[in-house]
Amino acid sequence: MCGIAGLILKPGATPDAALLQRLIGALAHRGPDGAGHHVAGQVALAHNRLAIIDLATGDQPLFAGPAALVGNGEVYNYRELREENQLGCATGSDCEPPLHLYRRDGLGFADRLRGMYALAIHDRAARQVVLTRDPFGIKPLYLAETSEGIAFASEAQALIGAGLVAPRIRAESRAELLQMQFTTGAETIFEGITRLLPGETVAISEGRVLERRRRAALPEGGPVATTEEAALAAFDAAFQSSVDLHQRSDVPYGLFLSGGTDSAAVLAMMARLNDSPVRAYTAGFDVAGAADERERAATLAQAVGARHESITVSEAEVWRHLPEIVAAMDDPAADYAIIPTWFLARRARQEVKVVLSGEGGDELLGGYGRYRAAMRPWWLGGKALRSRGAFDRLEVLRAPPTGWRDGIAA
């Protein structure tokens, strides 16, 4: 988890050094292993590094000819990109192949990337900055238009903290957050701050957007006719490839193990792919009646010979650290899982820098009933996603929220 930020200003404006330092400072917690910046003309790029790949020569910005790059996340297929395209890279960084591909392919470079990333490239020759985000939107990137041009950052709070945007709540997004527990689309809960959409690539010059492209996360078309045996074999191959790529790291890595099917499957695959025991971490609460999967997680870990660490989170600890936990949710979502995840991360960071998890499994495989219902026709019990909001019929709000389904409907 690195942090990136930048300024793309209108003609006549120049990046303010103090402003750039405020952006770097606001993102310092995302990258404790170093900071760098690039300033040329009306453009400034900033980077806070969490070193995962190429610890020795992977500092950013990266440069190739007239282009400079800063990135957050990881491009998992960087080795394949380097080999298949015969790229002459000066570093072992996973972010250098995208820089060379951009110089060759232009905005289409992102179509070849596999990973979770947010990248910014300043092309001095073309006098433009290109921003791109992974198709699933795993890594965030936020933009703000100011009187002098466009600013971007890995966190909305950095744009506010640097003084680029006033901290004002957008009423429509507040209603969406209350009813759905999260917000969708390009608009955020903060007035004047938007998201680069998942899979979106934009070209910006002199403080204005010149071009937008969008890459879909999933292929078009319906289900492919196949047999159960063939489908399971294809899934196993894809799953193994995904876990293997996610383990590409020059630092120790581990797993958040909940005891559920998704993280258990990841654990089993990691155990298959690694010679040394997998480091696994599980959290539970000391409150009577709270869901507790620690015993099941321990059984799973023992079955594959994992190094398992189980932590207990007390009620007192939750209340003591809740302000920090909520503050870490830069783009708010009402998900209680942020509490055990925060404590797990605090414990895991003592031994590892990277963790895998079962996040996304329910969405991809229809693990929740609402996803299965959305796929069925209405005469078989199907219904629209999020047709009712969390506060419907409770009559506790001053006024009924309106327009809260606009984002998900779009």
The set of residues, in sequence order, having a beta carbon less than 8 Å from that of 298 and lying 6+ positions away, is 282, 308, 310
Instruction: For the sheet with 149-153, list strands across it.
Output: 35-40, 43-48, 3-9, 149-153, 142-146, 194-195
Strands 279-285 and 253-256: parallel
CA-CA distance, 41 to 199, in Å (whole number)?
28
The answer to whether the CB of 257 falls within 8 A of the CB of 297 is: yes
The answer to whether the CB of 173 falls within 8 A of the CB of 401 is: no
The neighbouring-strand residues paired with 213 are: 201
Strands 142-146 and 194-195: antiparallel
CA angle, residues 161, 162, 163, in degrees to nearest 5 = 90
3-state SS assignment for residue 133: strand
CA 347 to chain centre: 21
The one catalytic residue in 1, 2, 132, 283 is: 2
3-state SS assignment for residue 221: coil
Task: Report CA torsion sign: 4, 133, 156, 245.
Answer: negative
Strands 43-48 and 35-40: antiparallel
φ, ψ of residue 130 in degrees (nearest 5): -110, 130
First to last CA, the chain: 30
φ, ψ of residue 100 in degrees (nearest 5): -70, -40
In a 10 Å sphere around its CB, with 0-12 CB exposed, 13-18 middle and 19+ buried, how is residue 305 labelled?
Answer: exposed
Dihedral, 110, 64, 121, 105 alpha carbons, nearest 10: -30
DSSP letter, residue 166: -
Type of residue at 62: L
- Closest residue by Cα to residue 97 from 123, 120, 77, 115: 77
Q: For residue 2, indicate whether it is catalytic.
A: yes
CA-CA distance, 265 to 271, in Å (whole number)?
10
Residues taking part in catalysis: 2
